[in-house]
Amino acid sequence: MSHISVLLDETISFLEVKDNGVYLDATCGRGGHTEAIVKKLSTGKVIVFDLDVVAIEEAKKRLAPYLDKLIFVHDNYASLKKHCEDYGIQQLDGFVFDLGVSSPQFDDPSRGFSYRYDTPLDMRMDQNQPFSAYHLVNEYPLDRLTKVIRDYGEDPFAYPIAKRIIAARMSAPITTTGQLVDIIKSALPSRILHQKGHPAKQTFQAIRIEVNQELASVEKAVSDACALLKVGCRGCVITFHSLEDRIVKDIFKQLSTPPKTNRRLPQQIIDIQYQLINKKPLTPSEEELTQNPRSHSAKLRVIERIRGTMYGNDQESQENQTV
């Protein structure tokens, strides 16, 4: 399945792209969001990040007519602040994060992301990274493996799955996704195996997140991107599972919510630098879900940097700023 950018029209609409603006696409993928932004630019620029060098090379082919307006960075988006400084970018007119794994990564058996193929365990977004799913599955002790599956896969059967993995690797290393799927299935009760959805989905998600340190990177990168936003400009983040969405929601809420004040004290002026554009996340339309079933779990959150003040004991204003 080819990669289809999720919530593309909505994201570009929220960004309100300026033709001379400087934008960040923190998750280039195959360049869908980048292309939609750069087409609207005259003298503007887009700085584009991706851990996957294959994705960058494919995006460069797609974006060949616009290369003079693009800066490609092969690195973790957690380092975006440093790279922006290196390129003399002090502020952004907008940013986009399209989190998760792109369709080409899932659909390439050699990458080892999918439980649909029997291929070598890998799951590295950055192929230059030495640590892979193979090392995690074969080297993590029981308590750490259980924690990863429980915390990042939100799987109630984390402990029995981890125990089965430990027991299996004592005979021989677990080397393929197919072996891992069989081990996961053997740890689950029959009622779970017959439920809708693949029984290995949560464990594979957990391992992928740990291998690529996704959640820690999201927290740092989104916070840094917000700090770089110009006044009157917006940031858009698309998430695909509850863990990363919770991180983004909490960052946006913290930035847009005024601190509590003592109402018995004289009015205090509080500087509010951000506001939420959509208090509830936007989800794909029925039309998009039909065209791209993989978009079903996507959520779009948008924040804008503003310059405003409010009085600390103005209850109505405080409530309007709260998610």
**Structural domains of the chain sorted by starting position, each given as residue range(s) with its CATH number in brackets:** 8-98+214-320 (3.40.50.150), 110-212 (1.10.150.170)
Based on C-alpha coordinates, what's the Rg of the chain? 22
Q: Is 310 helix (H, G, I), strand (E, B) or coil?
A: strand
Q: Which amino acid is at 239?
A: T
Residue 201's pLDDT is 93
Task: Say whether pLDDT at 109 is over 60.
Answer: yes
Distance CA 262, CA 284 (A): 41
Contact 25, 92 (CB under 8 A): no
Task: Say whether pLDDT at 308 is over 90.
Answer: no
Q: How large is the average pLDDT for residues 308-312? A: 47
For residues 100 and 202, the model is more confident at 202
The sign of the torsion formed by the CA atoms of 25, 30, 36, 42 equals positive
Task: Say whether pLDDT at 211 is over 80.
Answer: yes
Q: What is the mean pLDDT of the chain?
A: 89
Query: What residue has token string 């939609």?
Result: 36
pTM of the entire structure? 0.86
Residue 313's pLDDT is 44
Residue 301 Cα to chain centre, angstroms: 12
Percent of the chain predicted with pLDDT > 70: 88
Residue 259 tokens, joined: 């601190």
Residue 110's pLDDT is 72
For 31-67, how does the pLDDT look when each residue is reduced to its tens digit (9 = 90+)?
899 999 999 999 999 999 998 888 899 999 999 999 9
- Return the biggest CA–CA distance within the chain: 71
Q: How many Cβ atoms from other residues are within 10 Å of residue 197's Cβ?
A: 8
For 226-266, how does the pLDDT look when each residue is reduced to its tens digit (9 = 90+)?
999 999 999 999 999 999 999 999 999 999 988 776 667 66
- Strands 70-74 and 92-98, by their bridges, are unpaired
Q: How large is the average pLDDT for residues 92-119? A: 80
Distance CA 99, CA 79 (A): 16
At 115, the pLDDT band (50, 70, 90 cuts) reads: confident
For 178-206, how does the pLDDT look when each residue is reduced to its tens digit (9 = 90+)?
999 999 999 999 999 988 889 999 999 99
Distance CA 222, CA 219 (A): 6
**Cα distances (Å, whole numbers) of residue 102 to 114, 241, 319:** 12, 14, 38
